[in-house]
């Protein structure tokens, strides 16, 4: 039912409007995927600014990735034309950076400290401990995990931790993982400064709260103060970062720490068709609590392929069919790769998988068929490395100094970046163009480097280009697409387990939630595919179907043996 409100809140339903309206004191909004949590968040900010007279600069919206902050900013710009520039929309890391920039001296940081990416930390650590880069990389990963869970580091981990801290102090850099922890330390030790920040951000909103870790929670808590206006938004069923130290009890802790908090639940799913909502509820083992606003829709398609190559062919063929064959490709070329305002574009399609290795077969098929695609980076850090490598190469270009090996270095760096970014088509020219755009957007190279260091996996996914998105299930959180393929639904991949090492109950539950997140990205069409044989850990294995598939009621699904032939598919050869 519509909210019956006027103004900004008219675009919300009654529950959403109630959540957006309670602007004083702590509030938790807990609701399932597609229920409009993020929509509520943006409208709540608009309501605060437009209807409650809260200065935009006093609002802080916080999310996990830069990509998500950009999404929030653009949605806000539509709601509040010209008035949102002052509203702070930050990732936890950019917030931490801002606080350390303002007061880092209190922690002994130099005024011009910078954020080191993993590549830089890895080489520094490898040199300091006289170990290989790979070993250093492993240590850094372990230390990062320990830091996120605020667990004590012992033995070689402890040594690595101390060495990294010393190296940072000597060279004037701060570890990406420390931005939030150091700010918490600073604010907790300096009540006067904390008070000033509380005066700056009188209204705080945090999206995807279910994935928050111990430090991130503490920074929210210290900024909100005791009866602070803190609104936390999330879905415990979508918690997928336990392996990285996210705190599964965050909503309970919030209720304990803020006893006056109100809890508001949203009950309708606006995103997905009825079959998708019903399947998703079955996956997490409960009756469909929320009602699908769009009860009708296609059944979910199941497909079993003989190999991962055949699986990719099915995905590619189905995309071609959905696009109406070569006409759609031609249209894509005419619009210069920008999303056409047709019924369905490539950007409306996402292919989600559990591990990055699965993308290779898909890329090969898409390349052959001329299906444009964009892939998120294999790991957060790999993306930074690629960009940093190009930056380093470009740095050599300054002035008249045209070193004879410059071209080779640039090409090698761009090539490395292209492989790492795996955008499918990154050429040297594209990479340079991309950097120019970024540099223009961020002013100078130093700022740019900072932005790159603050980026995470999902940031390298550009929603505006008309390309199919190839994403890990993790990177897909918060996003939605009319058409979603979830591939590789085999036991061992979904749930994921290393061969020979049984998974524990906790990680099994997290894998189930991850599958739930994947399925609930779909609006209209959902395709679930698996291969009976796959190259897996060095050999071809016959993997049984994912046990999660059995939880989907059969009446919601239909089996398809092959992609329907695309109209005039033969003409593909012309491209
Ligand atoms: P997730 O848990 O996956 O992040 P969410 O709860 O944040 O999901 P949104 O992304 O805010 O959900 O909303 C899902 C979709 O439903 C969006 O396209 C949104 O615009 C639409 N939607 C939400 N609420 C309404 C509403 N009251 N009227 C019309 N459309 C709505
Ligand atoms: Mg959301």
473-520 pLDDT per residue, tens:
988 888 899 999 999 999 999 999 877 776 777 789 999 999 999 999
> Contact at 8 Å (CB) between 164 and 157?
no
Ligand 1 binding pocket (C-beta < 6 A) is: 12-13, 16, 31, 33-39, 235, 238, 270-271, 478, 480, 520
Closest Cα to residue 54, out of 77, 29, 83? 83
pLDDT-based confidence at 396, cuts 50/70/90?
very low
Please tell me the pTM assigned to this model: 0.82
- Choose the residue to mutate in 19, 39, 79, 265 for probing ligand 1, maximizing ligand atoms within 8 Å of C-beta: 39
Q: Does ipTM top 0.95?
A: yes
Q: Which position has the token pair 């808590």?
A: 221
- CA distances in angstroms from 48 to 83, 87, 317, 559, listed in the order given: 12, 11, 48, 49
3 state SS of 232 = strand
Directed axis angle between helix 118-129 and helix 133-148, to 10°? 120
Nearest CA to ligand 1 atom 20: 39
What is the rounded distance in angstroms from the CA atom of residue 560 to the CA atom of residue 292?
Answer: 25
The ligand whose atoms approach the alpha carbon of 269 most closely is: 1
Cβ atoms of 215 and 180 within 8 Å: the answer is yes
Residue 233: predicted pLDDT: 97
Contacts 24+ apart (CB under 8 A), 504-512: 506/242, 507/242, 507/243, 510/239, 510/240, 510/242, 510/243, 512/283, 512/284, 512/548
Q: Lowest-pLDDT range, 247-251, 418-422, 477-481? A: 418-422
Q: Which ligand is nearest to the CA of 37?
A: 1
Helices (H) and strands (E) in the chain, counts: 20, 19
| 66/456 Cα distance (integer angstroms) | 7
Higher per-residue pLDDT: 444 or 91:
91
**Rg (Cα) of the chain, in Å, rounded?**
24
Identify the nearest ligand to the CA of 513 by its number: 1
For the CA of 16, the closest atom of ligand 1 is 27
Ligand 1 centroid–CA 296 distance in Å is 18
Cα separation of 541 and 214, whole Å?
39
d(CA 478, CA 15): 20
> Residue 323 Cα, ligand 2 centroid: separation in angstroms?
27
CA 326, CA 573: separation in Å to the nearest integer?
A: 10
Instruction: Examine the pLDDT at 369 and tell me if it is beyond 60.
Output: yes
Residue 207 sits at the vertex; the CA angle it makes with 202 and 209, to the nearest 5 degrees, is 105
Q: From the annotation, which residues make up the binding site? A: 31-38
Cα 182 to Cα 188, 195, 205, 348: the distances in Å are 10, 17, 21, 40
C-alpha to C-alpha distance for 539 and 534, rounded to whole angstroms: 8
β-partners of residue 62 are 90, 206
Q: Which of 179, 139, 135, 134 is nearest to 159 (CA)?
A: 139
Going by alpha carbons, the residue nearest to atom 9 of ligand 1 is: 36
Do the Cβ atoms of 232 and 29 come closer than 8 Å?
A: yes
Q: Cis bond leading into 211, ω under 30°?
A: no
Q: Which of 42, 240, 270 to mutate to test the pocket of ligand 1 (most atoms within 8 A of CB)?
A: 270
Instruction: Please state the residue numbers annotated as binding site for ATP.
Output: 31-38
For residue 157, report the phi and psi dihedrals to the nearest 5 degrees: -65, -45
* 63 Cα to the center of ligand 2, angstroms: 10
Q: Which protein residue's CA is at the shortest distance from atom 24 of ligand 1?
A: 36
The DSSP secondary structure of 374-400, one letter per residue, reads: EE--SSHHHHHHHHHHHHHHHHTTSTT
Answer whether 345's CB lies under 8 Å from 466's CB.
yes
Residue 431 confidence (pLDDT)? 47
The neighbour count for residue 162, using CB atoms within 10 Å, is 12
Spatial contact of 374 and 469, defined as CB atoms under 8 Å apart: yes
CA of 40 to the centre of ligand 1 (A): 8
Residue pair 210/217 in contact by the 8 Å Cβ criterion: no
Mean pLDDT of all residues in the chain? Answer: 81
Counting beta carbons within 10 angstroms of the beta carbon of residue 283, is it exposed (0 to 12), middle (13 to 18) or buried (19 or more)?
Answer: buried
**361/373 Cα distance (integer angstroms):** 13
Look at residues 254, 214, 471 and name the one whose alpha carbon lies nearest to residue 355: 471
**Gap between the Cα atoms of 357 and 371, Å rounded:** 19
Give the closest residue (by CA) to ligand 1 atom 13: 36
pLDDT of residue 491: 93
The winner for highest mean pLDDT among 9-23, 71-85, 403-417 is 9-23
CA of 520, closest atom in ligand 1: 3
Pocket probe mutation, ligand 1, options 4, 13, 14, 38, max atoms within 8 Å of Cβ:
38
Tokens coding 35:
């229920």
* Closest approach atom of ligand 1 to CA 12: 27
Residues with CB under 5 A from ligand 2 (ion): 37-38, 478
- Measured CA to CA, the distance from residue 332 to residue 571 in angstroms comes to 15
Confidence of residue 299 (pLDDT cuts 50, 70, 90): very high
Closest residue by Cα to atom 4, ligand 1, is 478
CB environment 284-322: b (16+ within 10 A), e (fewer): beeeeebebbeeebebbbbbbbeebbbbbbbbbbbbbbb
Across 311-325, average pLDDT: 90
How much distance in Å is there from the Cα of 454 to the middle of ligand 2? 21
Q: 3-state class of 151 per DSSP?
A: coil
What phi, psi does 265 have (nearest 5°)? -110, 145
Q: What mean pLDDT is predicted for residues 536-549?
A: 90
pLDDT of residue 155: 84
Better-predicted residue by pLDDT, 378 or 327: 327
Could you give the angle at the alpha carbon of 467 between the alpha carbons of 240 and 513, nearest 5°? Answer: 15
Probe target for ligand 1 pocket from 4, 29, 36, 350, with the most ligand atoms within 8 Å of CB: 36
- Is the pLDDT higher at 211 or at 434? 211
């Amino acid at each position: 039912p519509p909210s019956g409100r006027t103004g900004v809140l008219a675009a919300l339903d009654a529950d959403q409007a109630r959540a957006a309206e309670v602007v004083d004191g702590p509030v938790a909004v807990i609701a399932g995927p597609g229920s409009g949590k993020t929509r509520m968040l943006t409208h709540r900010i608009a309501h605060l600014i437009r209807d409650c007279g809260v200065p935009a600069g006093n609002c802080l919206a916080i999310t996990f990735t830069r990509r998500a902050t950009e999404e929030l900013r653009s949605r806000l710009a539509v709601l509040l034309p010209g008035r949102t520039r002052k509203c702070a929309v930050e990732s936890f890391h950019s917030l931490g950076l801002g606080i350390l920039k303002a007061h880092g001296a209190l922690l002994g940081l130099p005024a011009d400290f910078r954020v080191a990416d993993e590549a830089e930390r890895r080489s520094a650590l490898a040199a300091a401990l006289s170990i290989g880069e790979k070993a250093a990389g492993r240590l850094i990963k372990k230390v990062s995990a320990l830091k996120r869970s605020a667990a004590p580091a012992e033995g070689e981990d402890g040594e690595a931790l101390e060495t990294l801290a010393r190296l940072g102090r000597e060279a004037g850099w701060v570890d990406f993982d420390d931005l939030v922890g150091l700010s918490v330390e600073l604010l907790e030790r300096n009540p006067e400064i904390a008070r000033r920040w509380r005066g700056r951000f009188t209204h705080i909103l945090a999206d995807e709260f279910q994935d928050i870790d111990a430090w991130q929670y503490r920074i929210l808590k210290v900024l909100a103060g005791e009866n602070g206006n803190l609104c936390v938004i999330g879905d415990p069923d979508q918690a997928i970062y336990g392996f990285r130290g996210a705190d599964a009890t965050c909503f309970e802790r919030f209720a304990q720490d803020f006893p006056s908090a109100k809890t508001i639940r949203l009950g309708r799913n606006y995103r997905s068709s009825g079959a998708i909502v019903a399947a998703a509820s079955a996956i997490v083992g409960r009756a469909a609590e929320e009602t699908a606003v769009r009860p009708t829709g296609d059944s979910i398609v199941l497909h079993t392929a003989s190999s991962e190559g055949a699986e990719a062919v099915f995905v590619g063929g189905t995309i071609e069919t959905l696009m109406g064959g070569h006409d759609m490709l031609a249209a894509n070329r005419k619009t210069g790769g920008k999303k056409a305002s047709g019924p369905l574009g490539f950007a409306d399609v996402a292919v989600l998988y559990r591990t990055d290795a699965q993308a290779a077969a898909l890329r090969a098929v898409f390349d052959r068929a001329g299906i444009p695609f964009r892939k998120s980076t294999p790991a957060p850090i790999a993306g930074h490395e690629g960009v940093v490598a190009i930056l380093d190469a470009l740095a050599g270009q300054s002035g008249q100094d045209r070193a004879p090996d410059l071209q080779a270095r640039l090409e090698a760096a761009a090539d490395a970046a292209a492989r790492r970014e795996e955008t499918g088509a990154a050429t040297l020219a594209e990479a340079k163009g991309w950097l120019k755009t970024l540099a223009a957007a961020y002013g100078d190279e130093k700022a740019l480097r900072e932005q790159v260091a603050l980026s995470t996996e999902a940031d390298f996914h550009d929603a505006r280009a008309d390309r199919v998105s190839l994403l890990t299930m993790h990177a897909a959180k918060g996003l939605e697409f009319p058409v979603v393929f979830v591939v590789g639904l085999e036991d061992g991949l979904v749930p994921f387990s290393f061969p020979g090492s049984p998974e524990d109950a906790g990680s099994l539950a997290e894998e189930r939630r991850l599958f739930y997140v994947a399925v609930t990205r779909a609006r209209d069409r959902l395709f679930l595919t698996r291969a009976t044989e796959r190259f897996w850990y060095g050999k071809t294995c016959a993997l049984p179907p994912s046990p999660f598939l059995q939880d989907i009621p059969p009446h919601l699904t239909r089996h398809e043996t092959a992609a329907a032939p695309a109209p005039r598919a033969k003409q593909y050869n012309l491209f």
